[in-house]
């Protein structure tokens, strides 16, 4: 393992004003997205959609540091025969790859899951590295509900995350460590804070046990937010303050940066929360790591709708993608305001 090189890549992934595009939807998930806009999900339509984003010069050059790809996408070529990985590299962005294989029910833990995919991961990572991937992603899912999460679910998922991260670094690939506490329940923000604190502390303990070098990874956590069904909502400032407090309590300073997941938040909520955190939690507060974004839906919902599978709409789709990328870039520097949302790219 060359830690200096891993650290260089990790820092580039969370460079000031830039964030990560999560374009790693499985074939099943992207079909659901395409169903909403009336587009048939085929290998070609999926390729065309992602190529549209990767050829968005302003977005990719100015605001996107890296792209998380799905297994299908990392091997695909653009319509003109250029490998999609090369399009990403030519834009000055870093190709990455999702390596987990989804979730399965956790034995003896009703309603809870374990992320799978460790078997033969070392061999897969070597192939992905050869194809151009320089970072990877593994998502652990923790749900909040009646009697859950259990310690078994938290510990087992944290352990798997750490094993994945160690294998990545062995393969000279930067691991994105993503423990996601879901916002699907009726819990309030304080319950989310409590569970996320437990999950993060358990995760970093397991990373230590697996000898993962924190300088060569990126953390992708959820924000402290109320559940979607909660009777008690949380305002933007409360989300920002509690999330920053949570990170200070849990994340070692050796971690190069934090790239939040959007977790089902609306486009503008994800941007507003990130901006508020950077307004209160920037260098003046002495945070040892930058706070940026690694969004999927919060970057892609608008361009998907604008594109709608039509070649004539490529420019409109690219403009929508560029606008959302720019808004989140500003938020990662604490420079966003809701007034800017109406000033969309032409």
Catalytic residue among 25, 178, 180, 202: 178
Task: Report which secondary-structure segment, H or E, holds 292.
Answer: strand 290-295
| Joined tokens for residue 14 | 């969370």
Are residues 140 and 161 in contact, defined by beta-carbon separation less than 8 angstroms? Answer: yes
Task: Measure the CA–CA gap between 15 and 312, rounded to whole angstroms.
Answer: 34
Packed helices 151-170 and 121-131: angle between N→C axes, nearest 10 degrees: 50
Specify burial of residue 108 (Cβ count, 10 A radius: 0-12, 13-18, 19+): exposed
Q: How does 315-334 read in b/e, with b if 16+ C-beta sit within 10 Å? A: ebbbbbbbbbbbbbbbbbbb
Task: Note whether 291 and 260 are within 8 A (CB).
Answer: yes
- For residue 257 the two structure tokens come to 């940066």
Confirm if 55 and 94 have CB atoms less than 8 A apart: no
Indicate the burial class of 188 (C-beta count within 10 angstroms; 0-12, 13-18, 19 or more).
middle
Q: In the 8-state DSSP scheme, what is residue 98?
A: E
Catalytic residue at 98?
Answer: no
* Nearest alpha carbon to residue 324 among 270, 249, 251: 270
Give the tokens for residue 101.
């294989």
The catalytic residue among 98, 220, 326, 333 is 220
For strand 19-23 and strand 64-69, is the pairing parallel, antiparallel, or unpaired? parallel
What are 343's two structure tokens? 């000033």
Q: Is 178 a catalytic residue?
A: yes
Half-sphere exposure of 89 (CA within 13 A, CB side): 10
Residues classed as catalytic: 178, 220
């Amino acid at each position: 393992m060359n830690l200096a090189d891993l650290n260089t890549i990790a820092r580039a992934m969370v460079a000031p004003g830039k964030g990560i595009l999560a374009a790693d939807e499985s074939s099943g998930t992207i079909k659901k997205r395409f169903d909403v806009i009336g587009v048939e999900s085929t290998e070609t339509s999926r390729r065309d959609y992602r190529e549209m984003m990767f050829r968005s010069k302003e977005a990719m050059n100015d605001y996107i540091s890296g792209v998380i790809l799905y297994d299908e996408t990392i091997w695909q070529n653009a319509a003109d025969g250029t490998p999609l990985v090369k399009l990403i590299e030519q834009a000055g962005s870093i190709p990455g790859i999702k390596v987990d294989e989804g979730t399965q029910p956790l034995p003896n833990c009703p309603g809870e899951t374990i992320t799978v995919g460790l078997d033969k991961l070392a061999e897969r990572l070597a192939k992905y590295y050869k194809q151009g991937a320089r970072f990877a992603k593994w998502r652990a899912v923790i749900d909040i509900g009646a009697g859950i999460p259990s310690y078994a679910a938290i510990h087992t998922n944290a352990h798997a995350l750490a094993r994945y991260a160690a294998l990545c670094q062995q393969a000279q690939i930067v691991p994105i460590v993503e423990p996601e506490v879901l916002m699907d329940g009726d819990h309030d923000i304080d319950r989310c804070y409590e569970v996320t604190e437990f999950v993060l502390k358990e995760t970093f303990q397991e990373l230590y046990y697996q000898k993962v070098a924190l300088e060569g990874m990126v953390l992708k956590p959820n924000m402290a937010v109320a559940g979607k069904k909660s009777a008690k909502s949380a305002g933007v400032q409360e989300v920002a303050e509690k999330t920053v407090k949570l990170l200070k309590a849990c994340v070692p300073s050796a971690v190069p940066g934090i790239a939040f997941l959007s977790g089902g938040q609306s486009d503008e909520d994800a941007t507003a929360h990130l901006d508020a955190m950077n307004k209160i939690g920037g260098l003046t507060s002495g945070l040892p790591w930058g706070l940026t974004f690694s969004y999927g839906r919060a970057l892609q919902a608008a361009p998907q709708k604008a594109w709608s599978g039509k070649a004539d709409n490529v420019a409109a789709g690219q403009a929508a993608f560029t606008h959302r990328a720019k808004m989140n870039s500003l938020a990662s520097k604490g420079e966003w305001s809701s007034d800017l949302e109406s000033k969309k790219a032409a």
